[in-house]
A and B are shown apart, each in its own frame.
Chain A
């Protein structure tokens, strides 16, 4: 039950078409950094050496919220999500996609 609730939560808060239809669509780190590793190595070192971020710094966005914080996020109604997508600039959802979403 807990897992199911979590998936619904994820679905309704983080849903995007890319995660449904593409398997390899999001990436980050070295692959999506705007600069090559080699060309920022000096800058990395200098910023790190200056102590700007502190030793062992982790960006807050890369740390999970606690279960209490997650519980505070309102669960969006699936109908609202559909409506939002229908009213966006995208083409209307095909019927078979709607069926799949309803099934999920």
Chain B
């Protein structure tokens, strides 16, 4: 998977033009998807107000701006300075238009990425990425290994929750009522939605039923060695089958050893012994998933892999095309899951903003002076519109993560919306907490997390508690396939509030 613009001098990619094209094409699609005298009558479209049209046109113009003598790859380029507010405005627009217009924007953005990104078949052949996923059967099949656990299954299984007090020890877990009490403590501290607390407690207090419920499912984890991913939690459950996709190496070996030593003897882990690269073997991986599962299986597919910088978007596109290919073949019985990131612009419930306002009033006075005088430190997180009381916008974007991380995460939101509202799949896509994962410690530094608690209710969780908590929520969300049909009049961003730990 490659970007269309290659920098032949430095053997890298130019990404800015493609990035901007994605946002622009989505905005243009919103204009087209409005049903008024200027358009061709888009099915299901709604009239856009003049003010909204003006906002969209202004943002398109802003995105098309080019600055003379601007080095697009430079540290202080125009785009690197401006993307934070531009993407915030984009998300605000997408949340303000109708459901069908928001879906049209999401689909247009995904299509643009699928059209523009290139797939290198060999040294001389490069084709649009979407085309190679049509003919997945023509590639060589990936080898497969199945490994089973060795432990006798527990008579009454209990789902483990990582103990936040001493998380270093891998086997330091809380079970049953102790785990429920810990979820309550987090909830009361204020780091999770009510739904997240209810879902986690449902899993932790009714664990004995899980093996029978989950045995009919096939969990496909793209990037199964991801730190925050649910692989280890799932592989402790008796009777569960997990298909893992990851590159070969130390992390995959460690996970396989974990299965051999910690999993019950009826738990199955299926993987490629040499490892599979999502960037270069996407079509083969899609076909491998289809070959390893039956149409009658309940498929739960979860893209988890992430990378640094521009590779994050390439990975995102590769995983999105795999999901699209698998869902096309398995339109029923398929569930899609993501963990969204709080370091993006987010639509949040209005009650969250009320709480934030209350907390702001309780902060020391000197912080308000710092806020006003500096203009950049200790700025309020939310953006509200007096005429809108349904949601507000919190921009969690962090400059050190870069615009490409936001695009990669936005792609997951767009796929979730389209799959849930238009294609009728079960989708679970809650926000996961900002935890002390290796990538976060690398990007932000350990000191960032040690000082985070100064601004209550910020909480820096360790990986094991965060991973097991999210796994408990995820397991509760995907248990049942018969969900009520989505309301096509609701704001599509509300689907991300369910089960969120921020």
Show the binding face of A for B, using Cβ within 8 Å. 2-3, 6, 10, 14, 18-19, 22-59, 61-65, 67, 70
Answer whether residue B397 sits at the interface, using C-beta atoms and an 8 A cutoff: yes
Partner of A62 from B178, B191, B445 at Cβ < 8 Å? B191
**B420-459 interface (Cβ within 8 A of A):** 433-434, 444-459
Q: Do A36 and B164 touch (CB < 8 A)?
A: no
Report the bound CA distance from A56 to B168 in whole Å: 11
Residues of the A chain whose Cβ atoms lie less than 8 Å from the Cβ of B348: 27, 31
Q: Which of B350-394 contact A (CB under 8 A)?
A: 351-353, 355-357, 359-360, 363, 371, 376-381, 394
- The complex places the Cα of A54 from the Cα of B454 at a distance, in Å, of 12
Given A28-B192, A29-B190, 13 more contacts at CB 8 Å? Answer: A19-B194, A24-B194, A27-B349, A28-B459, A29-B434, A31-B352, A33-B356, A34-B357, A38-B399, A47-B451, A48-B452, A61-B188, A63-B165
Contact A3 B164 (CB under 8 A): no
CA gap between A54 and B366 in the complex, in Å = 24
**Residues from 121 to 165 in B contacting A, C-beta threshold 8 Å:** 164-165
Which residue in A27, A31, A34 is a CB contact (below 8 Å) of B380?
A: A34
Verify A65–B355 contact, CB threshold 8 A.
no
The residue among A25, A36, A45, A59 with the most chain B CB atoms within 10 A of its own CB is A36
**Alpha-carbon gap, A85 to B184, bound state (A):** 23
Min CB–CB distance B442 → chain A (angstroms): 14
Number of interface residues, chain B, beta carbon within 8 A: 74
CB-based contact B397/A38 at 8 Å? yes
Chain B residues near A (Cβ < 8 Å): 84, 164-165, 174, 177-178, 180-182, 184-195, 205, 342-343, 346, 348-349, 351-353, 355-357, 359-360, 363, 371, 376-381, 394-400, 433-434, 444-459, 462, 497-498, 500-502
Chain B residues with Cβ below 8 Å from A61 are 185, 188-189
User: Closest chain A residue to B181 by CB distance?
Assistant: A64
Given A29-B433, A37-B398: A44 and B451 within 8 A (CB)?
Answer: yes
- Asked whether, in the complex, the Cβ of B381 is within 8 Å of the Cβ of A34, the reply is yes
Chain B's nearest CB lies how many Å from the CB of A48? 3
Which has the most chain B C-beta neighbours within 10 Å: A3, A30, A48? A30
Q: Which residues of B contact A41 (CB under 8 A)?
A: 398, 400, 444, 448
Min CB gap A2→B, angstroms: 6
> From A65, which residue of chain B is reached at the shortest CB distance?
B181
- A37-B396, A47-B454, A48-B450 known; A27 and B193 CB under 8 Å? yes
Q: How many Å lie between the Cα of A53 and that of B451 in the bound state?
A: 7
Q: Which residue of B lies closest to A36 (CB)?
A: B381
A20 to B151 alpha-carbon distance, docked (Å): 42
Contacting pair A52 B451 (CB below 8 A): yes
> How far apart are the CA atoms of A42 and B448 in the complex, in Å?
8
Chain A residues with CB below 8 A from B181, complex form:
64-65, 67, 70
Residue of A nearest to B395 (CB): A36
- A-B CB proximity, top 6 nearest: A28-B190, A48-B451, A47-B451, A48-B450, A48-B447, A34-B360
B381 touches A33 (CB 8 A): yes
Question: CA of A29 to CA of B435 in the docked complex: distance in angstroms?
Answer: 11
Please measure, in the bound complex, the distance between the C-alpha atom of A90 and the C-alpha atom of B472, giving whole angstroms.
36
11 A-B interface contacts by CB (under 8 A): A27-B351, A27-B502, A29-B191, A31-B342, A31-B356, A31-B502, A32-B359, A34-B363, A38-B399, A43-B454, A63-B185
